[in-house]
Structure 1
Amino acid sequence: MTVRTLFYISLTFFLLSLPHQLWAQDQYQGYVLDSKTELPLEGVTVTANTGAQVISNANGYFTLPVTGDINSVVFSYIGYNTATVHAPTAFQQIRVLLQPAASRLQEVLVTGYESNRPLLQTAGALSLLEHESIARYDESSIVRALNTVPGVRMDERAPASYRLSIRGSTLRSPYGVRNVKVYFDGIPFTEANGTTALNLLDAANIGTIEILKGPAGSIYGAGTGGTVLLEPQRAAPAEKQIRIGTTLGSYGLRRYVASASVGAENSKTLVQYTRQQYDGYRQQSATDRSVLLLSSEFKPSEKRTLNANLIYSDLFYELPGGLTREQYQQNPRQARGGMFGSVAQNASLGLEGITMGLKQEYKFSADFRNTTALYGLHKFKDNPFNTDYERNTNQELGGRTSFVYNTSLGTVGATFTVGGEFQRGFEAARTYDNNGGTPGALRTDDEVVTKIGFVFAQAELYLPADIIATAALSLNDAQYKITRLHQASSGNYKLNRNFKTVLSPRIALLKQLTNKVSVHGSVSSGFSPPTEEEILTSDGSLNEDLEAEKGTNYELGVRGFALADKLSFDAVAYYFKLKETIVSRQDVSSVAVFRNVGSTAQSGLEVSLGYTLLSEPDKSLSLLKIWSSYAYSHFRFNEYEKGEANLSGNKLTGVAPHALTTGLDLDTPFGLYLNLTSNYLDDTPLNDENTVYASNYFVFGARAGLKRQLGKHLKLELFAGADNLTNVKYSLGNDLNAFGGRYFQPAPDRNYYGGINVGYTL
């Protein structure tokens, strides 16, 4: 046998045996995701017990080739609990959900007060909701998610007819959202006239929600109710994904969501379209809303970041109207009847609007940065009401800028923030007779120019002994110019209201007791001018004597983690003295009329608790957590004389003394999850005289589902849920001080929903 022959035989033997050797080399592959957001985690260390090790890529994908016996594979990542997969099967794709560690949650940065600091280092009553809190429900609205926050109350007088209050400001908001300043990605979403069309947003548009309670947001200008900061949904880094989903539910709920997202190293773009239709639980309560969101972020350089957002909304919803107690008890599904009933007059509201915003953050250096945002909006409103017909067109421009500088004053660290904000709105507002849902004779024709502006400054000092001191000040100005071009009953005239420039200071101290517990206290002053709709009511009358509210708030709180980080807690006690309080009352035509009363005294306690019973990613039950929020509100009219009646000492209208929400969250490694939520609301006074109350109620809801990664590209979620499982009869959006006893806006009885979400990664 020659050498050449021996070589060929050896080569043939090697080649024949190679497949067997390759097959013997087991291969483990799969994805590593955040258990909450299910976004991919890049940089996770994947280690087999044999010592073989790889790192997950930008899509969270890993491939681990291993020879020998494998008993376990460990997944570790900073800020997350370590997970272990025992006895993995070769060539079967592994899907690992890592649970965020409590220590990571402590480090989540909040943007409130422009500080970008961890929550434990932020003085003030501030609550943070991530999108997973919204996704606990059917995402048809954000009402149930916001009602899990202590001190916050959101109502739906009808589907898509929102009313939002923070610490009892509902009394000024018989319709819509007022006295609460809302921002969307740093641009004002609250218009210059003081109103917020929150119903033009879909719940799927929102990524996170930060809520600053009371007049604590001096750097956000005038306001006594609070500030809400919304961050849009965005594409994740290195994400290229198409998502579609649908939800079907009781009473004709149909909801569709489609989105495409592309994330790269220096850019993120999300295009999202939602369509929601609802036949309605009550007569005259159907809804149809379409929202198109374009959200993008670009980083042209290390110093510069640009955010651009476009929101187009087309909304129509019907208004069933309030019921008397007798009607409510007899048939809660009926609409307001009679000659001027909701069906006869086609009571409804149509809104079509587009908002465009551009925000730039520029870092001059590591210690000096500027953030500037510009926006514009155009909105059309078509509103046949029971007694009149409104048609309004609104155009608005505005902007906001802030400079933040970090420095040292000797041995004391300091952060200084200065900036300003300006909004100018123009509205053409017309009212007509309502002839069965069509415009009749012209009643009034107004042009309204609104200018709102303020400048602000804030200093934060990092003192010894882990104390952070904050002093902030804003100088606010508001102007209304109303030109009446036509009025059926009188001549034309002009009204100019220039509310006096007001200083709103805030002083706060925070002491970090340990790296897990901090206490904080603050004193802040608030100023809130009347909104345009409070001055120019829907019946065309002008409320020339209405003054701005002014108040001072004192609060003390503690927040932190305990019991090996399994327990999280946040508690705040406050006292708020408000002068020139604005209240509303319906007249004979059901139009809200506003007036100032002497003052109110509002004290309360807000508590949030969460306890993680189990967090074991490698167990059959990976997460079991319970949580609760509670608000006690002792709100009273301090000085209030109404005609010959002295209402001083009465409970503040529309505020329940006790509100409690509890929940339970359960996750499994297989992808099964369960969310349970219960809500209790105490008896609520519905008029200033405290002679009519809405009864207390307890409602219970649940959502269960399955999330699975199918192969490398496909992600699937199946879900089903129910609301008001206890089938309680209750009113969710009560009309306050309603004329004719029409106080009640019944909420749906027991109802169900279910759906599917599909994501495909390119």
Structure 2
Amino acid sequence: MKNSLFIFSLILFLIQTANAQQFKGRVLDSRSKIPLERVKVTDRNSGESQLTDRFGNFSFDEVSFPVELEFCREDYLGSILIFQENESRIEAYLEKDIDQLSEIVVRSANIPEKIREIPASVGLISKNDLQRTDNFNLVQNFNYVSGVFVSQGALNTNKINIRGIGARSQYSTNRIKAYINGIPLTTAEGELTLDDFDAEYLDRIEIYKGPVSSAYGAGLGGSINLYTNRNQKDQRSITTNFNYGRFNTRKNGVNLSYVKDSLDLSFNYNQVQSDGYRQNGAYDRISMLGSAGLINKSGNYWSFFFSYTNLKAYIPSSLSESDFRNDPEKAAFTWNQAAGYESYDKNIFGVAYEHNFSEKLINTTSVFYNSRDGYEPRPFDILDEDRQSIGARTRFNLKTEIFKKESEFSFGTETMFEFYETGTFENRYEQAEERRSIQGDRLSLNEQDRNYVNVFAQLNSRLTPKLRAELGLNFNSTSYDLEDRFADGDIDQSGSYSFDPVISPRMGLNYEVFDGKNVYASMSHGFSTPTVAETLTPEGLINTDLQTETGWNYEIGFKGNWLNNKLFTELNLYSIQIRNLLVARRVGQDQYVGVNAGKADHNGIEFTSIYQTSFPNEIGLRLFLNSNFNFFTFDKFVDLGENYSGNEIPGVPKYMISPGIEFSIKDLTANLNFQAFGEMALNDSNSGYTDPYELLNLKLNYNWNLNEKFDLQFNFGINNILDENYAASIVTNAVGFGGSSPRYHYPGNPRNFFGGARLKFDL
């Protein structure tokens, strides 16, 4: 009898031991996929509880399967999950109760922090915000961010300025750094194009406003950081969409998502086509994007990203004042006769690895490759260019104590090597009977090899429970080799050149004066190196005296939550003082000379406010107000004997005010957005201005859950409801040739409608 009892007890013990196992996992935000700390995880079987660490990790020494876990955090909806057995990767996703902007962790910071606690102004475009517009063009969403302005000449003619930096660029965006999943998008000489990316593939966009060279190197205006969607556990789906708008604009695409165990795969294909509002305005773009993520057994994370774009977009160019007022649909005469367009194939590849040496030390390293093969027939010549670049970025984050103060130290380096070949040919379009370009004799051929190295470091320290300090430093070295492979006579541009090394510091303080209400002050340095085009003189020689453009940003601000965290407000005042101002002086139809013309002061006020709440019966309300007031002037600017000191800097509206409302009831969401922009100076002399204008836009979304497998969404909207006639972009300092009037204006689209549908099938 005793032996039988012993054997029975032993069997029970073995069964319990087999069922009781160590159980590990982590908790993440359902949208951003950022690990969540301070989540209370409770084993409802045993009653044992613990809090997740800063990486979102939790661990129970013994659990009995099936285990029922409860997840709780104050600002998130609670969740109860049941796990039948142990798995290689346990992940729980929590959804915010009310999506508090101030509590969102900024992923692009070298040391991730909540927006409210960062001593800087960071604009956030969430996935929900990206649903406000027709999504034919990504950058139109940036105009809802205070301090940011996008000039939109056409779907492929956009330039972004942040706090007025980059406004005087002629046709493209420069002086701004940009990344997607940590992979650089800005070229080694500072040019940037974001039109290629599909908004529906992105999870969020983070925009640092003002000089950020301490973290990113050459970026006087700021940085734009794009992040793609990361799929949730066990998500396997196919999503197709089609959208149609006025001017025969259509977009269709498909997205595939697959998650199994520790592998996360996603692929997106989309095509956008349009006849355009204006003559010679047809547009055709095919984009493919893919990403993959893999967590190994040690909890380290591999990620892969690729993007391919094929574009052919015709260029109507800018118009004179008379044509802009009376015939905005026409194209510039010579551009129409030459059927001018731009086309390119672009590739981006990147691999990143995040390694956790310990709970206190993390390294993230990425390597990347970019290429672009472009061809652009223009009335004055035909441009043929090929660009390839390779590079790497690595960053270490160490959590430690300094003088007994809780601190985190980040340091690393970023380098890029770029190989760029550009040539021009005669355009003999005038000899053609029909409207087209004809390639003639070669005019030029240059090869440029440019490289830069950034070494950066940042220290964040909690001096007191309420006071945080941030210190940053960046060292940059930029050089290039130029080979003139089509030297003409005595003019040979070949040579090796380098800019003086630049050291960019940053200092910031953030103090929580009351619960959820912070004030901050910061001082940061930024710089932008001249492009090769800016370094060339009219005789085709290198101007070795041209200096790097630099600036200091001084900023104070307030960020705070109100009304039980339903209302977030941010107010900041800044002054950016730029020295060695780089000016593109126009000397021909497509010829510019770069000069260091003096000093400029960019002073401004920005205000952001978001209120969101919910009511019974699945009713939600979201109100926002974004605005900025600009006081951008030349401090000291004398060019060719003309004194422009004290004049307004052209190309930037004096103000932007954008209130909006989002109302949802069950499956229907309505967005009504208003935008008011002030007048813009057309040139340095301030001899002319654009008119101020207002835009009113509406978009409706309806989600229809057909069954457990199928979700259907419909959308309908109206852009420019007021049918405003306005200049969506201008060419600053335009010059008329041959007695013609200068062509400053790009007309904006009149009232236009759009609509579409999206079908999602869960496998």
Instruction: Specify the TM-score bucket, using the shorter chain as the normaliser.
Output: 0.7 to 0.9
Distance 1:499 1:469 in 2: 32
1:190-201, aligned counterparts within 5 Å? 190-201=186-197
Q: 1:587 to 1:538 in 2, by over 3 A?
A: closer
The one of 206, 211, 217 equivalent to 1:215 is 211
Contact 2:720-2:752 within 8 A present in 1 as well: yes
The residue matched to 1:309 in structure 2 has which SS?
strand
Distance 2:533 2:711 in 1: 47
Determine the structure 2 residue equivalent to 1:275.
Answer: 271
Contact 2:181-2:226 within 8 A present in 1 as well: yes
1:646 lines up with 2:639 in the alignment: no
- Aligned amino acid, residue 676 of structure 2: Y
Q: How much does 1:531 deviate?
A: 2.4
Residue identity (%): 27
Contact 1:172-1:179 within 8 A present in 2 as well: no
Contact 1:539-1:591 within 8 A present in 2 as well: no
Deviations along 1:538-572, whole A, 9 cap, x unmatched? 99775554321011110011112102222111111
Contact 1:590-1:739 within 8 A present in 2 as well: no
Distance 1:610 1:99 in 2: 19
- Aligned amino acid, residue 519 of structure 2: V
Distance 1:103 1:732 in 2: 32
Q: 1:245 to 1:709 in 2, by over 3 A?
A: same
Contact 1:251-1:280 within 8 A present in 2 as well: yes
Distance 1:271 1:298 in 2: 15
The residue matched to 1:704 in structure 2 has which SS?
strand
The residue matched to 2:514 in structure 1 has which SS?
coil
Determine the structure 2 residue equivalent to 1:754.
Answer: 755
The residue matched to 1:464 in structure 2 has which SS?
coil
Deviations along 1:15-74, whole A, 9 cap, x unmatched? xxxxxxxxxxxxxxxxxxx99999xxxx999xxxxxxxxxxxxxxxxxxxxxxxxxxxxx
Q: 1:319 to 1:540 in 2, by over 3 A?
A: farther
Contact 1:412-1:461 within 8 A present in 2 as well: yes
The residue matched to 1:689 in structure 2 has which SS?
coil
Q: Give the TM-score taking structure 2 as reference length.
A: 0.85
- Aligned amino acid, residue 659 of structure 2: T
Q: How much does 1:119 deviate?
A: 1.4
Distance 1:105 1:551 in 2: 29
Distance 1:552 1:638 in 2: 14
Distance 2:95 2:294 in 1: 29
The residue matched to 2:195 in structure 1 has which SS?
helix
The residue matched to 1:693 in structure 2 has which SS?
coil
1:137 lines up with 2:137 in the alignment: no
Determine the structure 2 residue equivalent to 1:407.
Answer: 400
Determine the structure 2 residue equivalent to 1:581.
Answer: 581
The residue matched to 2:136 in structure 1 has which SS?
coil
Which 5+ residue runs of structure 1 have no aligned equivalent?
Answer: 1-33, 46-74, 84-97
Distance 2:199 2:545 in 1: 38
Q: 1:240 to 1:672 in 2, by over 3 A?
A: same
Determine the structure 1 residue equivalent to 2:469.
Answer: 469
Which 5+ residue runs of structure 2 have no aligned equivalent?
Answer: 1-28, 34-38, 42-70, 80-93, 430-436, 737-741
Q: How much does 1:322 deviate?
A: 0.9
The residue matched to 1:342 in structure 2 has which SS?
helix
Q: 1:699 to 1:369 in 2, by over 3 A?
A: same
- Aligned amino acid, residue 574 of structure 2: Y
Contact 1:275-1:291 within 8 A present in 2 as well: yes
Distance 1:333 1:527 in 2: 39
Q: How much does 1:414 deviate?
A: 1.1
Determine the structure 2 residue equivalent to 1:451.
Answer: 451
Deviations along 1:274-318, whole A, 9 cap, x unmatched? 100010000111111111101111111343101100101101111
Contact 1:583-1:594 within 8 A present in 2 as well: yes
Distance 1:413 1:495 in 2: 50
Determine the structure 1 residue equivalent to 2:569.
Answer: 569
Contact 1:178-1:531 within 8 A present in 2 as well: no
The residue matched to 1:169 in structure 2 has which SS?
coil
Contact 1:170-1:654 within 8 A present in 2 as well: no
1:368 lines up with 2:361 in the alignment: yes
Determine the structure 1 residue equivalent to 2:500.
Answer: 500
1:619 lines up with 2:617 in the alignment: yes
Determine the structure 1 residue equivalent to 2:301.
Answer: 305
Deviations along 1:117-155, whole A, 9 cap, x unmatched? 211221111111112212211111123311110101112
Contact 1:194-1:531 within 8 A present in 2 as well: yes
Q: How much does 1:197 deviate?
A: 2.5
Deviations along 1:596-628, whole A, 9 cap, x unmatched? 21100111111101123x412x326x1112111
- Aligned amino acid, residue 416 of structure 1: F
- Aligned amino acid, residue 364 of structure 1: F
- Aligned amino acid, residue 368 of structure 2: Y
Determine the structure 2 residue equivalent to 1:530.
Answer: 530
Deviations along 1:442-481, whole A, 9 cap, x unmatched? 1111110001111011111111141111111101111121
The one of 275, 288, 312 equivalent to 1:316 is 312
1:527-676, aligned counterparts within 5 Å? 527-535=527-535, 544-612=544-612, 614-616=613-615, 618-619=616-617, 622-669=619-666, 671-676=667-672
1:181 lines up with 2:177 in the alignment: yes
Q: 1:634 to 1:491 in 2, by over 3 A?
A: closer
Q: How much does 1:113 deviate?
A: 2.6
Distance 2:183 2:163 in 1: 24
The residue matched to 1:346 in structure 2 has which SS?
coil
The one of 118, 128, 146 equivalent to 2:124 is 128
The residue matched to 1:421 in structure 2 has which SS?
strand
Contact 1:171-1:582 within 8 A present in 2 as well: no
The residue matched to 2:140 in structure 1 has which SS?
helix
Q: How much does 1:103 deviate?
A: 7.1
1:70-149, aligned counterparts within 5 Å? 79-80=75-76, 100-102=96-98, 105-149=101-145
Contact 1:172-1:178 within 8 A present in 2 as well: no
- Aligned amino acid, residue 754 of structure 1: G
Contact 1:472-1:507 within 8 A present in 2 as well: yes
1:716 lines up with 2:681 in the alignment: no
1:391 lines up with 2:384 in the alignment: yes
Q: 1:699 to 1:540 in 2, by over 3 A?
A: farther
Distance 2:493 2:141 in 1: 46
Determine the structure 2 residue equivalent to 1:72.
Answer: none
Q: 1:708 to 1:631 in 2, by over 3 A?
A: same
Deviations along 1:707-740, whole A, 9 cap, x unmatched? 0211100001011001001000011111110112
1:238 lines up with 2:237 in the alignment: no
1:39-50, aligned counterparts within 5 Å? none
Distance 2:362 2:78 in 1: 37
Q: 1:537 to 1:200 in 2, by over 3 A?
A: farther
Distance 2:552 2:488 in 1: 43
Distance 1:564 1:274 in 2: 41
Determine the structure 2 residue equivalent to 1:509.
Answer: 509
- Aligned amino acid, residue 650 of structure 1: N
Distance 2:219 2:117 in 1: 24
Determine the structure 2 residue equivalent to 1:228.
Answer: 224
Determine the structure 2 residue equivalent to 1:428.
Answer: 421
RMSD: 2.6
- Aligned amino acid, residue 761 of structure 1: D
Q: 1:707 to 1:551 in 2, by over 3 A?
A: same
1:144-159, aligned counterparts within 5 Å? 144-159=140-155
Contact 1:194-1:532 within 8 A present in 2 as well: no
Contact 2:168-2:651 within 8 A present in 1 as well: no
- Aligned amino acid, residue 366 of structure 1: E
The residue matched to 1:534 in structure 2 has which SS?
helix
Determine the structure 1 residue equivalent to 2:65.
Answer: none
Distance 1:99 1:675 in 2: 22
Q: 1:106 to 1:553 in 2, by over 3 A?
A: closer
Distance 2:424 2:579 in 1: 32
The residue matched to 1:684 in structure 2 has which SS?
coil
